[in-house]
Structure 1
Amino acid sequence: MFSTVAVNGEVKRWEDLRLHDFSQGFFFGAGFFTTFRIDNGSPLFLARHLARLSASVSAFPTTVRAPPPEVMHVEAVRDTLRRCLDSDAALGARFTGVGKLAVSDGKLLLTLRPPAPDAERSQREGRTVDSVESGAYRHGEPTPNHKGLSYFRQYSLMANMPLLANERGHACELPTANLFVLLDGQLVTPPLDAPCLPGIIRRVLLDAGQVNGVPVFEQALPLSRLTEARACVITNSAVLVSGVTRLLGQALPDSLSLAERLRTHVLEMAAREG
């Protein structure tokens, strides 16, 4: 992570932050975060990220103290990001990487890091998903619908990236990504009550309704149906879309071309939304 950060719009250095200013977030995980991609200094889908962050804060008004409303505006965050990039020679106005916005203790913290080290390889070669964490979630559990600072469950599983399933034997998501499976000519993703995170890229694809003539929609996804998959992709805001070339022991070579088509659509939508 880079040393330049911002707190409620004020550019600071990471080493100058004070723990007691974020005590509820640190000690109790009372807060939320969102991670967004930055290409050549421009944040992708920033309005969507801020809307989701605000919705999570609003869902827990007595637990998480919201920052001042003015610092959560899209243009305010864009300006804060620009000032961070301009102030640090290691970043610069054309910075490409990942931004993170975290809300806790009445503060909005912006941090920056380089692109994921395996991002290009993941897009080029795809990923393998060969294990399932059964019963990781309970159907209808609401907390996975919010990206909380209490993120240990997902963090502890990042190295292996298993498919997380609920007690009904339905697929939910991966530790850091949403799941899409091509079944019967349709691209299916688990519904929010599976449960799963309402990922930004997931929503972009669902809002499209179809991509290249392939319908996209939510549907309960029993693990038993994954053997029928013709292709599979995972989505998140840092890498956008990655093909799953091997899903629970089944080779899915068509996943790479599907991922490429979906990435093209996502980038087109990002350019339109600004």
Structure 2
Amino acid sequence: MTGTVAVNGEVCRLEDLRLQDFLQSFFFGAGFFETLLVEEGAPMFLARHLTRLRESLGAHAGCVHAPPPEVLTPEAVREALRRCLEAEATLRPRFTGVAKLVAGDGKLLLSFRPLPPRAPGEGVVLDSVEDRCYRRGDPTLNHKSVSYLRQYAHLGRGTVFVNEAGELCEVPNGNLFFLVGDAVVTPPLETPCLPGIIRSVLLREGRLGEMPIVERTLLRGQVEDVRGCVLTNSVSLALAVPRLLGRELPESLALAEQARAVVREYARREA
């Protein structure tokens, strides 16, 4: 993380933040966050991220102290981002990397970090299953809470979360799309999984080439029917999964390339 941050639009140094200003978030996980891609100083899908953040705050209004509405607008965040980039020598106005928004304790914290090291076209192998902590219909997993230990503990381990019914849900850092038959399938929110920004874009587009994109449950035992798999999140956009639970998926790379192209075209139209 870089040293320059913004709190409710005011630029400051990370080391000057006070713990007492973030007590609910720190001690109780009473807050939400968004991680988004910044390219050449422009945040991708910022309005969508803020909409999801406001929805999470609204759904937990009784226990999470939301920031003032005026700092949760795309215009306010873009201005805070611009001022941070101008203030930080290691960022500069044409920064490409990751921005993070954390909302809680009446504040919106904006911070930055470099892009994760990953070669173009590099995929991620998912060969591990965690089936003890996801339960169908759990509403907490439809929100990106700062109480993130459940996911954080499995980052980098190639883990797929599976619910008590044996349905594939998501991975610690993104949603999953499976090529099954002549359709691209992604688990419904009630499995549960996060309503990811890239997930919503792909569902809105509705197709990858000639293949429809649909919400449908996929059981662990149905992995044998999967021909390709893609992991989506707001930083990497779409990553190929060349192996899923021991099954080689040669069609994943092409599927991920198609998904990235659709997402980037959507972002271009929405900008």
1:261 paired residue number: 258
CA-CA distance at 1:51 after TM superposition: 0.2
Percent same amino acid among aligned pairs? 54
Map residues 175-214 of structure 1 onto 2, 5 A cutoff.
175-214=172-211
Q: How many residue pairs end up in the alignment?
A: 271
Map residues 215-254 of structure 1 onto 2, 5 A cutoff.
215-254=212-251
Map residues 93-112 of structure 1 onto 2, 5 A cutoff.
93-112=93-112
Amino acid at match of 1:18: R
Amino acid at match of 1:268: E
1:65 paired residue number: 65
Amino acid at match of 2:99: G
CA RMSD of aligned residues (A): 0.8
Map residues 1-274 of structure 1 onto 2, 5 A cutoff.
1-118=1-118, 121=119, 123-274=120-271
Contact 1:135 1:169 in 2 (8 A): no
Distance 1:161 1:104 in 2: 30
3-state secondary structure, aligned to 2:81: helix
Amino acid at match of 1:128: V
Distance 1:7 1:271 in 2: 29
CA-CA distance at 1:231 after TM superposition: 0.5
CA-CA distance at 1:4 after TM superposition: 0.5
Q: Runs of 5+ in structure 1 lacking a partner? A: none
Instruction: Name the stretch that deviates more: 38-47 or 207-216.
Output: 207-216
3-state secondary structure, aligned to 2:162: strand
CA-CA distance at 1:100 after TM superposition: 0.4
TM-score (norm 1): 0.97
Distance 2:121 2:257 in 1: 9
CA-CA distance at 1:261 after TM superposition: 1.0
Structure 1 stretches of 4+ with a deviation exceeding 2 A read: none
TM-score (norm 2): 0.98
Amino acid at match of 1:226: V
3-state secondary structure, aligned to 2:166: coil
Distance 1:89 1:159 in 2: 31
Contact 2:124 2:158 in 1 (8 A): no
Distance 1:125 1:24 in 2: 38
Amino acid at match of 1:206: L
Contact 1:48 1:200 in 2 (8 A): yes
CA-CA distance at 1:269 after TM superposition: 0.8
Distance 1:16 1:124 in 2: 39
CA-CA distance at 1:176 after TM superposition: 0.6
Distance 2:150 2:86 in 1: 36
Distance 1:183 1:222 in 2: 12
Amino acid at match of 2:240: G
Amino acid at match of 1:69: P
Amino acid at match of 1:43: P
Distance 1:248 1:149 in 2: 29
Q: Runs of 5+ in structure 2 lacking a partner? A: none
